[in-house]
Structure 1
Amino acid sequence: MKQFASNVHAFGKALMMPISVIAAAGIFLGVAAALQNPAITGEAFAGLPLPQLIIGFIRKVAGALFANLPLFFAVASAIGLAKAEKPTAAFAAAIGFIVMHVGVSATLAAQGLTAATTTPAALQQQGMDQTAAMMQAAEYIQMLGIFTYNMSVLGGVIAGLLTVVIHNHCYTVQLPTAIAFFGGRRFVPIVTVLVLPLAGVLLALIWPTIGNGIAWVGELIGKSGQYGAFLYGSSERLLIPTGLHHILNETVRFTPIGGVATVDGQTLVGALNIFNASLTHPGSVPDDTVREATRFLAQGKIPVMMFGLPAAALAIYRCARPAEKQRVKALMLAGALTSFSTGITEPLEFCFIFVSPVLYILHAVLSGLSFMLMSLMHLMIGNIQGGAIDLVVFGILGGSKTAWWWSIVLGLVYLPVYYYSFTFIIRRMRVETPGRESADQEPAATVSADERIKTIISGLGGAENISDVDCCFTRLRVRVNDMQQVADETLMTTGANGVRHVSEHDVQVIYGPQVEKIAAEVKAALGIG
């Protein structure tokens, strides 16, 4: 069970690799869409050939990234779960993804289903009405030139997981001397080529059942309307300490649970896919469909990230003891600015979610309420973060149809709600937020920047106790041999906002946006490539 938990966390971390690229591409795409909107830039700019050529180029690059997301997730899943030889796992996953879809395509062809026989026109000739024909045709897609089921990101994840199982069992295999060249890491892609097409055949036979099940869940959430948005927003916040919120997010963003739309005869599944398609193909997706998708995206986060949590940071600062206020001020200011601008919240959230379940649950409920109210107000702001960048690029620059001003209105309501509720609970329940720790829990002096990396390694039990180091947006993720040697108090002196023991061998240290630099320095000190 503990090993399973460790793998789940590694999988959640792996999902962040393609998402970080897509988030940045989405911002560029949002700016490009705004620059091509005559209501924003004027008719004269819209008629300038060179700027429009550049903007069109940006759209094509972003569109290519979005179209190949399943492949990216296949590679990322394999990298995240590979025990060693991660480049080999990534290479094998790319091969596995392709040959798996070849297996799917061959099975479809054996059933008489090809790109030619599944067009809406061909299906109507077989007796289907127009609507049914278009819906069935949308179940298939050309992926890297291969006719296959439209499995979206889930297909990539399946290919990546199957490949990494093969990789972890085969990358150390030694073959007889005569064929030893094909052993070890070279053996992995060979086995992948043999196994994944057969997996594709099996997947093609059961995919209709899987697809119907996912669609049923999506319909259930869709019928729940704003209550589904509330449930999603609250659940995502509640899962923050476990790190499993990444998996919930990707499920909504890239499966039918987040919505389904048809563009140019192809089905788009997932809230983020639909929103990005509306940017890359202006006018192809109805605004009502986009609004249904964005109820799971950035618009529900903006009032919390830009207004609520900074107000909570002010409350924590004001509640600190006078002697601690200078220290707490620096901590809260950094966290508030990060949350406001980028929507990265863990540096602030980890200041209170472990010391007060009441504050934690209140924050989750208010987050879910924000998602629900933004859906009720018919906002249309996409992307994934929820900070000022998303508000400006996808809200304000998106024009009046996004109804972006309601997020600011709710944010202004959330300012006093968060401030006064946090102040009341902290003081009434004597919550030990930063600056209010009890005498035996006083924070140790923070080490200098020069000593930080050495202290981190020491706090993790020394170099010999560390088997792997990685990071996501805000957390240093470390796999250790013996959890008993990890000293949380030592790690907290290195500027960490919190320490989480997520399994028997996995520990996460929350540093915020600077974690990428810290991870690189720790790897360099350990000699890890």
Structure 2
Amino acid sequence: MSKKKNIKSSFWEFFQGLGKTFMLPVALLAFMGLMLGIGSSFTSPSTIETLPFLGNPVLQVIFSFMSTIGGFAFTYLPVLFAMAIPLGLVRYEKGVAAFSGFVGYVIMNLSINFYLTQTHQLAAADKLREAGQGMVMGIQTIEMGVLGGIIVGIIVYLLHKRFYDVQLPDALAFFGGARFVPIITSIILSIVGLLLPMIWPIFAMAIAGIGNIIYKSGPFGPFIFGSGERLLLPFGLHHILVAMIRFTEAGGTQVVDSNTVSGALNIFYAQLKAGAPISSSATAFLSQGKMPTFMFGLPAVALAIYHTARPENRKKIKGLLISGVIATFVTGITEPIEFLFLFISPVLWVFHVIMTGFGFMMMSLLEVKIGNTDGGILDFLIFGVLQGTYTKWYLVLVVGAIWFTVYYSVFRYAIVKFNLKTPGREETTEEVSKEELSHKTKGKYDVERILGALGGKSNLQSLDNCITRLRLVVNDMSKINQLELKRCGALGVVVLDDHNVQVVIGTQVASVKTQLEKIV
């Protein structure tokens, strides 16, 4: 029974820590998404055509610069996850862990490229998306999106945990300890990189099958496409499905201005250029389907997260949520909001996937005719409102209001009912009282005495802190002397299970934790 509890405790600690590591790249993503969205939108030819003053050369240079800088986080998001996960999870030698994450990610992609080259599977430059390939740091490789970074991050964490203090024979001692982590990482991830291309085509074949199903599904095609695209997003496989629908026969074939055109996006642009009536069967797979979710649903998620956060934490998360809402509402960049719940509640993610699919189907059934790719307010205005009422743009507002209500109600209920640790509700802050925030002790804390009351160095597995508490994982809870800890100045001791305990120190907890780490 004790062994089972220990395993359960380790899983609890791992997933709690994993969730925290995601916040580092997500916070950067929210800010960069704002810059990218504004920059790319205001340099778009369609936007300049509608608002000519934006074509000013000085403004264009500024917006282009914003777009370039903002694109950084999205271009390198997988490698950011590969570095942030081991950085956040390991207890010792964190710098080595992050360095190893970078090394492992690059080597994995180099190995993938080597395999594709040797087996003559490298796609032509203009066929990358259709083949499920892309460029990563100048390396042509399989397009795995964030999943690739997460795979590397977790593998590096496990390798670091096992080898960071390894002792090698004297002749190889220089390569021992922390130096061995990037070495073993390069070996293991190179093997992983050779194996992945053998597995990944199975997913590509499945996606091609989905494309054929969409083509033959009539009114349900947009639903399958919209939900499938969202479902595949975390795995980086959505590009294959999107490319099939936008540019191949799977997205339909029509004659436009005496030319046969295939692919939903190709048809829309051809009709727009020729001044021909816009086909609702083509726009069914384009911007309009995203609008209920992107412009209304995800902002409702942000509001639900804000309202369910502890009142004292709302100011802290407001900037993160506002920047995420602006990114999705203006340009359809959804990751800053989606990543806030994707890894916390897979059930809510499935709900989001289904609702996105229904958004596509609803817009199709109502015969709305708004094309393009982003699904934000700019597409709504430029390709909807400004094109006239024949696009039925007003129906987006009606459906959007319903989507906002449903998303907000479901997310707020789920967050409260299941106590989901969305931003502002984390365990590190949810139980902080005014008494804890104001608690102080006379003089300095006797850290060595506190360590003794915790059972000594050998009793500590993990040491962390929140705003007011030391958060510890210990080997033997019976060695914790609660009375002695209170004599040392602690306000209280909270035992969570057989191995997790919190010691309430007050606002000086960070200093106490740092001193404990030095001793340990």
Q: Above 0.5 in TM-score? A: yes
Q: Name the counterpart of 2:340.
A: none
When residues 483 and 198 of structure 1 are mapped into structure 2, their CA distance, relative to the original with a 3 A threshold, is: same
Normalised TM-score (structure 1): 0.55
AA of the residue aligned to 2:243: T
Q: Is the 8 A contact 2:204 2:240 kept in 1?
A: no
Q: Name the counterpart of 1:180.
A: 173
Match of 1:261 among 231, 234, 242: 242
String of CA shifts for 1:245-295, please: whole Å, max 9, x gaps.
xxxx997445336984339x999xxxxxxxxxxxxxxx9x98944555677
- In structure 1, how many angstroms separate the alpha carbons of the residues matched to 2:29 and 2:64? 18
Structure 1 residue 33, shift from structure 2 partner: 3.9
Q: Name the counterpart of 2:388.
A: none
Q: Name the counterpart of 2:334.
A: none
AA of the residue aligned to 2:23: M
Match of 2:464 among 465, 469, 473: 469
- In structure 2, how many angstroms separate the alpha carbons of the residues matched to 1:380 and 1:508? 54
Correspondence 1:53 to 2:61: yes
Q: Name the counterpart of 1:241.
A: none
When residues 173 and 342 of structure 1 are mapped into structure 2, their CA distance, relative to the original with a 3 A threshold, is: same
String of CA shifts for 1:475-497, please: whole Å, max 9, x gaps.
9994532797799xx9xxxxxxx
Correspondence 1:138 to 2:143: no
Match of 2:19 among 9, 12, 15: 12
What SS does the aligned partner of 2:101 have?
helix
Correspondence 1:107 to 2:115: yes
When residues 447 and 74 of structure 1 are mapped into structure 2, their CA distance, relative to the original with a 3 A threshold, is: same
Larger radius of gyration between Structure 1 and Structure 2: 2
Correspondence 1:301 to 2:298: yes
Q: Name the counterpart of 2:100.
A: 92
Q: Name the counterpart of 2:513.
A: 526
String of CA shifts for 1:473-518, please: whole Å, max 9, x gaps.
x99994532797799xx9xxxxxxxx996x8656899xxxxxxxx9
AA of the residue aligned to 1:92: S
What SS does the aligned partner of 1:84 have?
coil
Q: Which one has more relative contact order, counting CA pairs under 8 Å at least 6 apart?
A: 1
Unaligned runs of 5+ in 1: 122-133, 233-248, 268-282, 314-327, 345-362, 384-390, 427-442, 491-498, 510-517
When residues 152 and 253 of structure 1 are mapped into structure 2, their CA distance, relative to the original with a 3 A threshold, is: closer
Structure 1 residue 167, shift from structure 2 partner: 1.6
When residues 339 and 30 of structure 1 are mapped into structure 2, their CA distance, relative to the original with a 3 A threshold, is: closer
**Where do residues 418-433 of structure 1 align in structure 2 (5 Å cutoff)?**
none
Q: Name the counterpart of 1:125.
A: none
When residues 252 and 295 of structure 1 are mapped into structure 2, their CA distance, relative to the original with a 3 A threshold, is: farther
AA of the residue aligned to 1:302: P
- In structure 2, how many angstroms separate the alpha carbons of the residues matched to 1:9 and 1:500? 17
Structure 1 residue 188, shift from structure 2 partner: 1.2
Aligned residues: 391
Correspondence 1:65 to 2:60: no
Q: Name the counterpart of 1:119.
A: 124
When residues 41 and 408 of structure 1 are mapped into structure 2, their CA distance, relative to the original with a 3 A threshold, is: farther
When residues 135 and 191 of structure 1 are mapped into structure 2, their CA distance, relative to the original with a 3 A threshold, is: closer
- In structure 2, how many angstroms separate the alpha carbons of the residues matched to 1:486 and 1:266? 68
Correspondence 1:21 to 2:28: yes
When residues 98 and 371 of structure 1 are mapped into structure 2, their CA distance, relative to the original with a 3 A threshold, is: closer
Normalised TM-score (structure 2): 0.55
Correspondence 1:446 to 2:434: yes
When residues 100 and 194 of structure 1 are mapped into structure 2, their CA distance, relative to the original with a 3 A threshold, is: same
String of CA shifts for 1:325-350, please: whole Å, max 9, x gaps.
xxx9x779979989985789xxxxxx
AA of the residue aligned to 2:463: D
- In structure 1, how many angstroms separate the alpha carbons of the residues matched to 2:58 and 2:289? 35
My pick for the range that moved more, 176-185 or 399-408, is 399-408
